[in-house]
Amino acid sequence: MHENRKPANLRQTYTHSGAAPLLSSNRFSVAPMLDWTDRHCRYFHRQLTGSTLLYTEMVTTGAIVHGKGDYLAYNEAEHPVALQLGGSDPAALAQCAQLAEQRGYDEINLNVGCPSDRVQNGRFGACLMGEAALVSDCIKAMRDVVSIPVTVKTRIGIDEQDSYVFLCDFVQTVSAQGGCDTFIIHARKAWLSGLSPKENREIPPLDYDRVYQLKRDFPHLTMAINGGVKSLEEAKAHLQHMDGVMMGREAYQNPGLLARVDRELFGSDAAAVDPVAVVRAMYPYIENELTKGTYLGHVTRHMLGLFQGIPGARQWRRYLSENAHKPGADVRVLEAALALVADKIPQEA
């Protein structure tokens, strides 16, 4: 058994301070984003917030079972961390869930929200909203073999199947038959044809009220809302109605806001996070990765938005973008970039 395996049915809670109230880690999370939330990104985000639940990029069952690489790799510092799986074969999902639990993941999440053609061709993602019984079978197969939480991330509808009744039927079926007790709801429907994944994140209108109503109608289920959340102030407003909030692109493009999450959303009384100290805290990790053949730019690309809104931020981004991919680039590149911005950061009283 993996030393990090969690006791049955326990959602671990995390805060920086023992005096702070213990709140579930799914109160705030960073969304799984393909090509963005890789292990380097998650390690960086963890330097900014200790309580936020971090998600992997979606990983298909085929990649885990048949791929040549280690698609379950992560750093122990990333906890709490959830693995998002893509697939629709209950047996394969169960196999992957077992492997993930053995590796110490804190949660398994099934993707029922991605609308890309490639994902549909593999019969997973948002198209599964039309197959609630199959989703139930998938969730039950995973829950039968692991003790960590198994959750679903979905949309409010697909194509013309976008009525509130359709959404309720989906949630009722997956919760009652599959045993799923936690849903992350992207407050937009998905068009399975005619729109790109990017357009599906922007064109279908957000309907937060529908998600709020879903939580009122299923009070016994844990529900988080996702889609278009751009600030912690908006997150706080959503938390008046929901159990949790998932933030996507804004958390990636403006990661500095994650430094406020533990204090403002989890009640921690820990000291304010210093972004310069966060950069330097990355040095041992980066140096270790460089010895493994990782290019500096593969890590620093996730750090470009750290100083957003601070004088010198543009110079920071430009310097890293121009120099991190050069042969032999190491932490000295980061030190030089910091010199362009560090003395311009306002000090908190």
Structure tokens at 112: 């029922």
Assign 204 to helix, strand or coil: coil
Q: Cβ atoms within 10 A of the Cβ of 118, count?
A: 11
- Report in angstroms the alpha-carbon separations of 323 from 115, 183, 300, 334: 36, 42, 10, 9
109 within 8 A of 84, measured Cβ to Cβ: yes
Annotated binding site: 32-34, 84, 153, 186, 226-228, 248-249
Q: Cβ atoms within 10 A of the Cβ of 121, count?
A: 10
Question: Is 114 assigned a catalytic role?
Answer: yes
Please pick, among 96, 114, 127, 138, the residue that the annotation labels catalytic: 114
56 within 8 A of 80, measured Cβ to Cβ: no
| Chain center to CA of 111 | 12
Distance CA 113, CA 125 (A): 5
Distance CA 152, CA 137 (A): 13
Annotated binding site for FMN: 32-34, 84, 153, 186, 226-228, 248-249
Structure tokens at 213: 């109503």
Q: Any idea which residues carry the catalytic annotation?
A: 114
